[in-house]
Structure 1
Amino acid sequence: MSIKVYAISGSPSAWRVLLALTFKQLEYDVQYLNLSEQEHKSEAYLELNPRGTVPSLVSNGVTLRDSIAILAWLDRAYPDKPLFGHTPEQAAHIWQVTMEASEHLRNASKGLLLPIFFQGADKKTDELAQVATTQRSEMQKLGALLVRHYFIGGDYPSAADAVCFPEARMLKRALDTRAELMEALGYQLDLSDFPDIAAWIGRIEAFEGVNKTLPPHWS
């Protein structure tokens, strides 16, 4: 069964799907749309996804356009290496973290990183400091989940890891590329203030194929 994913480089939602496919060790093709040329709003793409968003996944007559829906479908279509656990208890934990992170961690990270990466923010402001406080709170919640687990859902990567990793890795990207500003906002540049998250990032990046999911524009 062929799988094609439409993405924009650096889109956290699309990145989730690429990670999930990687965790399941599935073959896929990815087509990156050019954001500056608004390819996701082109007539051809809108025929595939009328909302003009990413990701979209196409596989043998199935078309999906929501990252969480895609993760759920992948577990039904390819039950090996489940993204939502083996037991009801595991599923409950992973679903809860997945949904909370897709809203709260995503919004907190977007509030901080959108101004930094796309709006030219280059100095600390009261507004940035406030959103940084919110983002740090969400990172602390993520770190607490990793104190007793190798991955968020247990001993192997899950949907929760697929949703949380892009947010943490983009924060690390900001620390690497906007060091002075991030330090002014209270972040430690080596993530020593979030040691469990830093170690988890390393474990995810060591997983075979994850390097392929990194945003192409970072290289």
Structure 2
Amino acid sequence: MIVYEEIIYIALLTLLASIIGTLAGFGISTIMVPVLLITLPLPQTLLLVGIVHWFNDIWKMLLFRKGIRWKIFLAFGLPGIFTSFLGSFLSLRISRDVLSRALGIFLIAYVLFIIFNQAFKLSQKLSVAVSSGALTGFFAGIFGIGGEINAVSLSAFNLKKAVYVATAGAISFMIDSTRIATYIQGGTRLDPVLVSGFLIFIPVSLIGAVIGKRGVEKIPQEKFRNFVAIFIFLLGLKLILFP
């Protein structure tokens, strides 16, 4: 049974995750899911974090609203809708540990590769954007974590900081909307106390996004890609060690 003290802990976790998620363009689910799984069942965890993530998507789009690249958004987002539904449907039917570790290995390998091959960039072809969006949606649906793949692919487009964060938020908004609806349709419900907690979680996530925006503005553009790469590496390591 959820007690009100836990609402405060979740609110603080939401604040931290929202700051980092806005700074890097991803990471909210990777931070919140493993922590909440200590006390909550998996279905409730995925739904709760999905809703928090959905609101953070909105804050990113509003705070960086002049930066969305609509062609990239559609190329990533449309296939992500379908695969997010598929991943959400399969979320309680297959083991996520193997997928999580595989994703972690891929992320670390990618970061190490670009460190030693500074000139390498993923292709900016439409096929790369579509396949990346599909993978992002699938992983987001199946275990609530997919933004890392999104970040890897978006970094290939050399987007300005504001454009990167806004576009990532818009893509994630489409995917999160699909998976939240799928979780609810599948019968997942939150404890009434948790539902009341959104009166705190939502404004706290906005505060975190505002703080994160100020941090983004202070990071030099030429160092922003390296900043994102560091987060990708750390989260990849987390997925391997603690899937």
Question: Normalized against structure 2, the TM-score is what?
Answer: 0.34
Question: Normalized against structure 1, the TM-score is what?
Answer: 0.37
Greater relative CO, 1 or 2 (CA 8 Å, sep 6+): 2
Structure having the higher helix fraction is 2
